Amino acid sequence: MAKASRVFQPTLFPTFSTLHKPRTLSNAPTIIHKKYPTIRCSVSTSDSAIREATSATQKVPWGCDIDSLENAAALQKWLSDSGLPPQKMAIEKVEVGERGLVALKNIRKGEKLLFVPPPLVITADSEWSCPEAGEVLKQYSVPDWPFLATYLISEASLNQSSRWSNYISALPRQPYSLLYWTRAELDRYLEASQIRKRAIERITNVVGTYNDLRLRIFSKNPDLFPEEIFNIETFKWSFGILFSRLVRLPSMDGRVALVPWADMLNHSCEVETFLDYDKSTKGVVFTTDRQYQPGEQVFISYGKKSNGELLLSYGFVPREGTNPNDSVELSLSLKKSDKCYKEKVEALQKHGLSISQCFPLRITGWPVELMAYAYLAVSPPSMSRQFEEMASAASNKTTAKKDVRYPEIEEQALQFILDSCESSISKYNKFSQASGSMDLDVTSPKQLNRRVFLKQLAVDLCNSERRILFRAQNVLRRRLRDIKSGELRALKIFNGFRNLFK
């Protein structure tokens, strides 16, 4: 189900709540966009607005079905006519993802492919078909993410009048993204996973960013940004495209960009090759780390991401056990009944941590910050002088010593983590048991297929995250048994000496 290439993607894109006031545009002509049926949009970032934004969505009037080869072929021809050199790959239907790039010839390990020239790459410096709209956004100092999202909508709305029409026509009409899950679907299918919370946060940011643009810019320039085109539905589409396809190119000063053709490459957990700008060939390329035979699908890496992160942006979950970078977020929380609750909260907040904190568990272990947080959570009042040290070690924002040890509370800290781990496992078990009886009886066959698809994604994510939790549970239980058996041995030795001297 992988959709496109990317090297970098922040957890949350930049939002802007305080924009610079614009200079007045003089003699700006009126731009009339093609009219589309009005799509109702939300007007706040309240919970009701978020629920509305995650309700059943109406498809945007551009793009194509996710597996369209006709549109992809038109894109390839346009790119070739526009300066893309001859390629050793072609777009075809593939097993991993609906569309992908497949080798036409033998490809060697270490070979450079693509060579997409800068004029065929979309960045914040790309020329607008409606230059007045771009000028307005620049005067408000709109950050790259919402700037590019607005640019994409503006170009898409112009259809064939935009130079990017062939590219936009080949983009999915509804990207695979948790942005397109309804709130009910998120609550139902992802209730056990922390990815649900991150999905809601991402939707909140999309809604908030759209509302900032709407209130501060669009409403003041309705001729340039008519609401029937620039609305929450089209922004969900454009941000869905950005989340799944935007890349950061280190050799172009870290510039973020959409790279047509390159974003047809699908992800594999088994490769470690990324896109970048090659100054010698003056094109966006990637270097293969394995050989490909004719007919084989060519892959790149979207980054070292967990299955949950891949689902969040791309809408797919790798097969269980195939992602070496998979992890699950374990939530730890201070107990309000703690006698030192106030002091511990203050120590955490001083280092940018909250009362409830999530830490990644991997199949290979967990970060030292998690153990430091557990030490703080179980530490007694007599260790109040160490609260500051523990909180500092629990934060990944400090360079303080991380691998702190407090043998006197080691057992309690491990038990605390184990309790949290088992609590999470019970949620996954509950979902797993319920998933077999979830009501999928809907009148529309197409909607039924969607529900089945989402449910399968949720089950796959549940199984992969629960697998890591089970591994952590076994490790924790073994360490606790070792501690207790060590204590018993020490007690036996002590009793033996005591009996010897009686």
**Which position has the token pair 């991150």?**
198
Helices (H), 116-178: 131-139, 144-157, 165-170
In this structure, the number of other CB atoms found within 10 A of the CB of residue 247 comes to: 24
Which residues are known binding-site members for S-adenosyl-L-methionine? 245, 266-267
Of the candidates 256, 264, 58, 97, which has an alpha carbon nearest to the alpha carbon of residue 167?
Answer: 264
Say how many Å lie between the first and final Cα of the chain, rounded: 74
In this structure, the number of other CB atoms found within 10 A of the CB of residue 165 comes to: 19
Of the candidates 286, 291, 254, which has an alpha carbon nearest to the alpha carbon of residue 273?
Answer: 286
Which residues are known binding-site members? 245, 263, 266-267, 277, 302, 314
- In Å, what is the CA distance from 349 to each residue of 136, 336, 359, 367, 430? 39, 15, 16, 20, 33
Q: How far apart are the C-alpha atoms of 162 and 114, rounded to whole Å?
A: 24
Q: How far apart are the C-alpha atoms of 409 and 379, rounded to whole Å?
A: 7
Which residues are known binding-site members for substrate? 245, 263, 277, 302, 314
Under 8 Å between Cβ of 102 and 296:
yes
* Sign of the torsion angle spanned by Cα atoms 167, 168, 169, 172: positive
Q: Which residues pair with 358 in a beta bridge?
A: 331
Q: How far apart are the C-alpha atoms of 248 and 464, rounded to whole Å?
A: 29
Question: Identity (one letter) of the amino acid at 1?
Answer: M
Strand 266-267 and strand 299-300: the pairing is: parallel
Structure-token pair, residue 220? 């003041």
Strand 247-249 and strand 255-257: the pairing is: antiparallel
Helix (H) or strand (E) holding 201: helix 195-216
Under 8 Å between Cβ of 50 and 204:
yes
Q: How far apart are the C-alpha atoms of 336 and 387, rounded to whole Å?
A: 16
Under 8 Å between Cβ of 80 and 89:
no
Structure-token pair, residue 361? 């568990």
Q: How far apart are the C-alpha atoms of 502 and 497, rounded to whole Å?
A: 9
